[in-house]
Structure 1
Amino acid sequence: MESVSESADSRAATNALLAGLCADGLAPAAVVRFLGLAAHRSLRQAARRPRALAELTVLHGALFVLASGRRPGRRWVAAGWVLAVLHLGLLEHRTRLATADVLTLMRGNLPALPGGAGRASGVLAVGLDLADGRQARHQGTTSPFGEYADTFADAAYWTWLTLRHEPSRTLRTAAIAAWALPVVTVTGLALRRGTMPERPRPVLLRPAAALQAVVALRHLTRR
């Protein structure tokens, strides 16, 4: 049987680790200890969900093959697999990925895939975003894993697309403000306060739908 600390939800466990790190004043040794403990717990949580771990590995293995010869290609996919595995504890009581989770992870890996920078890639990303949200609501499969994967998929894909392919400096600045800055801010608050902030509402953490549409349509129609 799991111990109390092992069976606690991921948020409570993460808050305990952050509190210890904050109490030590973010000293280098404390940071190393925090990373080690966090990685150890994350791997234990992943091992307790072998089906989800296998599904993640099969999905990213297929994406890894498709990403051959591309940039950022296989490195992007490999990094995505590592991050997803380390956050499997956020599935909480679930032991497998939902359809919505798979769609979200595919969206986050679009930059590594054939056609990921094509004209229709922005429209495809919007479509995948709408589809995973609809699936999660319809199947009742929402979880912290899916919520945070959705947030980081948006941040990764839209920041990459805008900074790499959008000529407008104004839109590139807006992309950083809408996608990258909130993630950095939430991380900074967690480290400073020693506790995870409440997940911001979509309007605070995700880009406005209008900004997604503008970037996607400009990319679609650009010569």
Structure 2
Amino acid sequence: MSVSDLTDSRAATNALLGALRRDGWRPHAVARFLWQAADRSARQAARRPRALGQITALHCLLLARAGQQRPGRGWVATSWTLAVVHLGLLEHRDRLSPADMLTLIRGNLPATSMGPSRWSGLLAITLDLTDGHLARNQGTVSPFGDYADSFADAAYWTWLTLSHEPSRAVRAAAIAAWALPVVTVTAIGIRRGTMPERPRPALLRPAAAMQGVVALRHFLRR
């Protein structure tokens, strides 16, 4: 069975990373890895037309809200692309859950008029808590939701901090708290040739604390 036909996303990713590691990260191995990963992503998206339609409809609405402002349409287009290529992480499901939709909306806040507002950080935290609660209560927790949550957090909070946080010390502390767990876990996973696990909750506590600090400072600042 080829990698493209594997239904388990972790098994498929581990097979791709394992082959890349065995080939010593040579240029032809990297090219083959990218081709096989893209091929599998396209096949998995084609097998889930409902989810693909949901993602496209949601991002069309976000495009309408983005208008001409920055980062606007480019941000939404990137979000759509990342969501589509990760549809295989839905595993046995063929559609997005309400929690998944809220996660994608949170990740696209910078592209809407709500992004620069003083309420933006508090809204992002509320959406984050709500999508997690919905996913657990509705039994829709999935690798797609987990990784979409990580992407949304990284994208939104990095944007808010770099664009609207005036203190260099707070910016440095926030980026370090958010980037260090992800970079560390990803580096270990790639070195071992296996799909990286999400950072443990203990590693994410400083990141959550910095989100609260940045959100509160943004809310209180005129």
Please tell me whether the aligned partners of residues 18 and 194 of structure 1 are also in contact (alpha carbons under 8 angstroms).
yes
Deviates more, 1:160-169 or 1:3-12: 3-12
In the alignment, structure 1 segments of 5+ residues that lack a partner are none
| Identity %, equivalent residues | 69
Query: How far apart are residue 202 of structure 1 and its match?
Result: 3.2
Query: How far apart are residue 135 of structure 1 and its match?
Result: 0.7
* RMSD after superposition: 1.6
Where in structure 2 are the equivalents of 1:10-25 lying within 5 Å? 10-25=9-24
Match in the other structure for 2:109: 110
Please tell me whether the aligned partners of residues 73 and 111 of structure 1 are also in contact (alpha carbons under 8 angstroms).
yes
User: SS where residue 95 of structure 1 aligns?
Assistant: coil
CA deviations over 1:161-180 (Å, ceiling 9, x no partner): 11111111221112211223
In the alignment, structure 2 segments of 5+ residues that lack a partner are none
Query: How far apart are residue 205 of structure 1 and its match?
Result: 4.5
Query: How far apart are residue 192 of structure 1 and its match?
Result: 2.0
CA deviations over 1:2-45 (Å, ceiling 9, x no partner): x5752440000000000111111111221111111001001101
1:133, 1:35 → 2: CA distance? Answer: 31
Where in structure 2 are the equivalents of 1:181-220 lying within 5 Å? 181-205=180-204, 207-220=206-219
Q: What letter corresponds to residue 10 of structure 2 in structure 1?
A: R
CA 1:206 to 1:154, structure 2 compared with 1: closer, same or farther past 3 Å? farther
Please tell me whether the aligned partners of residues 18 and 190 of structure 1 are also in contact (alpha carbons under 8 angstroms).
no
Q: TM-score, normalised by structure 1?
A: 0.93
CA deviations over 1:84-115 (Å, ceiling 9, x no partner): 00000000001100000000000001111112
Q: TM-score, normalised by structure 2?
A: 0.94
Aligned length: 221
User: SS where residue 186 of structure 1 aligns?
Assistant: helix
Match in the other structure for 2:220: 221
Query: How far apart are residue 199 of structure 1 and its match?
Result: 2.2
Please tell me whether the aligned partners of residues 151 and 205 of structure 1 are also in contact (alpha carbons under 8 angstroms).
no
User: SS where residue 80 of structure 1 aligns?
Assistant: helix
CA 1:113 to 1:174, structure 2 compared with 1: closer, same or farther past 3 Å? same
User: SS where residue 83 of structure 1 aligns?
Assistant: helix
CA 1:7 to 1:206, structure 2 compared with 1: closer, same or farther past 3 Å? farther
Match in the other structure for 1:163: 162
Please tell me whether the aligned partners of residues 108 and 154 of structure 1 are also in contact (alpha carbons under 8 angstroms).
yes
1:207, 1:185 → 2: CA distance? Answer: 15
Query: How far apart are residue 196 of structure 1 and its match?
Result: 1.5
User: SS where residue 173 of structure 1 aligns?
Assistant: helix
Please tell me whether the aligned partners of residues 183 and 205 of structure 1 are also in contact (alpha carbons under 8 angstroms).
no
Where in structure 2 are the equivalents of 1:1-223 lying within 5 Å? 5=3, 6-205=5-204, 207-223=206-222
